[in-house]
């Protein structure tokens, strides 16, 4: 992806679309427009990614060491059972959150996009995604306040005579927090495709004798599949790299890849090479998810 060597600043032989520009500006303009951002991206995105790839090949490197690539030991370490467990857990969180937010998000997006009064739709959507604009750290922290042993939920439960739940510091809390964090993204993307849904097709299928469930699977789902795929991808990628929710809500049992990467760099276990290898694995996982979307996204638009 970023390994290509073609990532030089815009080439000077670029052709302006109009013939009215002066000859000197044909050369100068594209460089002036695309050059600064291009240089910034190469220096702070492309080169750094190449450097972490290089470092991921160095075993046991610590800050200040001399770079001297020598092999795949870090990657061998990633695939040891103890770390595979962490990768599996991260994938479990990401898939689970993706499914939960799809199941919760679809009815909401459908209601806003198809059933709510037309003039209210934009406002309702805005209202639903507005919490996204507030600090994600603080929203996750709010769930700590709600879920902890002496928190809001348990106060409510015990006051009506139910036993208190110990949800915090385990995986259910991570799901609650992550599902909450990424639901607005899912609704936002689903809304875009549900809003365009042709209602006449639903009526036609009803007229032809389909029951609502049949209409849903045969008419609504195929039409909104690109939206579903895009929403799922977005949630999957974000939850896979999420650090804050597992860290604040998950406790020691919920170690994920991103928490482990964090520890390799800023935590107690400093091993930059291993951390770089883990980062590369994360980038690869995300790239595979995107490749799958592109492959199956194309299929959904064909029929």
Partner 1 sequence: MRLKQEEIPVDMVKSKDKPGFSWQAIFSIVMFFYMYLPILVLALYSFNESPYSANWEGFTLKWYGNLLKDGRIFTALQNSLTVAFSAVGIAAVLGTLMAVGLARYRFTGKSLYRGISFLPLIIPDIAIAVATLIFLAVIGIRLSIWTIVAAHVVFCLAYVAIAVSARLSGLDPHLEEAALDLGANPVEAFIKVLLPELLPGIISGCLIAFVLSMDDFLIASFTSGTGSGTLPMEIFSRIRTGVKPDINALSVMLMIISGVAGFLAQYITYQSEQKRIK
Nearest approach, Cβ of 303 to partner 1 (angstroms)? 26
Nearest approach, Cβ of 241 to partner 1 (angstroms)? 2
DSSP state of 21: S
Nearest approach, Cβ of 226 to partner 1 (angstroms)? 17
Which string of b and e fits 220-239 if b means at least 16 CB within 10 Å?
Answer: beebbbbbbbbbbbbbbbbb
Which among 245, 220, 248 has a CA at the least distance from the CA of 106? 220
- Please identify, among the stretches 5-13, 73-81, 163-171, 217-225, the one whose residues bind partner 1 according to the rule CB under 8 A: 5-13
Largest CA distance in the chain: 82
How far apart (Å, rounded) are the C-alpha atoms in residues 132 and 182? 9
According to CB under 8 A, which one of 11, 60, 253, 269 is a site residue for partner 1? 11
- Please identify, among the stretches 44-52, 75-83, 167-175, 220-228, the one whose residues bind partner 1 according to the rule CB under 8 A: 44-52
Residues 269-288 within binding reach of partner 1 (CB under 8 A): 272, 275-276, 279, 282-283, 286
Select 296 or 303, whichever has its Cβ closest to partner 1. 296
Asked if 180 interacts with partner 1 (CB under 8 A), we say yes
Residues 97-116 within binding reach of partner 1 (CB under 8 A): 104, 107-108, 110-112, 115-116
Asked if 63 interacts with partner 1 (CB under 8 A), we say yes
Asked if 139 interacts with partner 1 (CB under 8 A), we say yes
Asked if 93 interacts with partner 1 (CB under 8 A), we say no
Radius of gyration, CA atoms only, the chain:
24
Number of residues that bind partner 1 (CB under 8 A): 103
CA 46 to chain centre: 20
According to CB under 8 A, which one of 75, 92, 185, 262 is a site residue for partner 1? 262
Nearest approach, Cβ of 141 to partner 1 (angstroms)? 5
First-to-last alpha carbon distance for the chain, in angstroms, is: 30
How far apart (Å, rounded) are the C-alpha atoms in residues 221 and 87? 31
Asked if 168 interacts with partner 1 (CB under 8 A), we say no
Asked if 170 interacts with partner 1 (CB under 8 A), we say no
Calculate the alpha carbon distances from 210 to 73, 85, 205, 223, 288 in Å.
58, 46, 6, 16, 38
DSSP letter string, 229-285: HHHHHHHHHHHHT--HHHHHHS-GGG--HHHHHHHHHTSSS--HHHHHHHHHHHHHH
Nearest approach, Cβ of 151 to partner 1 (angstroms)? 6
Asked if 185 interacts with partner 1 (CB under 8 A), we say no
Phi and psi (nearest 5°) for 255?
A: -65, 130
Select 200 or 303, whichever has its Cβ closest to partner 1. 200
Asked if 130 interacts with partner 1 (CB under 8 A), we say yes
Cβ atoms of 238 and 186 within 8 Å: the answer is: no
- Please identify, among the stretches 76-84, 127-135, 165-173, 218-226, the one whose residues bind partner 1 according to the rule CB under 8 A: 127-135
Asked if 227 interacts with partner 1 (CB under 8 A), we say no
DSSP state of 28: H
Select 146 or 167, whichever has its Cβ closest to partner 1. 146
Nearest approach, Cβ of 129 to partner 1 (angstroms)? 8
How far apart (Å, rounded) are the C-alpha atoms in residues 113 and 157? 35
């Amino acid at each position: 992806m970023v390994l290509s060597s073609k990532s030089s600043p815009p080439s000077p032989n670029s052709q302006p679309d109009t013939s009215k520009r002066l000859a000197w500006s044909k050369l100068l303009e594209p460089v002036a427009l695309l050059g600064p951002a291009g240089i910034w991206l190469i220096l702070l995105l492309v080169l750094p990614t190449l450097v972490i790839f290089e470092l991921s090949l160095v075993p046991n490197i610590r800050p200040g060491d001399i770079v001297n690539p020598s092999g795949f030991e870090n990657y061998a370490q990633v695939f040891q059972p103890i770390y595979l467990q962490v990768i599996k857990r991260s994938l479990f969180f990401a898939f689970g959150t993706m499914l939960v937010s799809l199941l919760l998000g679809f009815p909401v997006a459908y209601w806003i996009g198809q059933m709510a009064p037309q003039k209210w739709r934009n406002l309702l959507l805005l209202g639903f995604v507005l919490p996204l604009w507030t600090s994600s750290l603080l929203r996750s922290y709010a769930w700590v306040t709600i879920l902890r042993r002496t928190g809001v939920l348990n106060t409510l439960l015990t006051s009506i005579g139910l036993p208190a739940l110990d949800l915090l510091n385990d995986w259910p809390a991570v799901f609650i927090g992550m599902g909450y964090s990424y639901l607005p993204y899912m609704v936002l993307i689903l809304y875009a495709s549900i809003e365009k849904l042709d209602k006449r097709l639903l009526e036609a299928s009803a007229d032809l004798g389909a029951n609502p469930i049949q209409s849903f699977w045969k008419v609504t789902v195929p039409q909104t599949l690109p939206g579903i795929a895009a929403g799922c991808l977005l949630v999957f990628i974000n939850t896979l790299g999420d650090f804050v929710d597992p860290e604040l809500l998950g406790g020691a049992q919920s170690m994920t890849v991103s928490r482990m990467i964090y520890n390799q760099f800023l935590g107690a276990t400093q091993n930059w090479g291993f951390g770089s290898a883990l980062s590369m694995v994360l980038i690869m996982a995300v790239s595979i998810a995107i490749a799958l979307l592109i492959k199956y996204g194309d299929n959904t638009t064909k029929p």
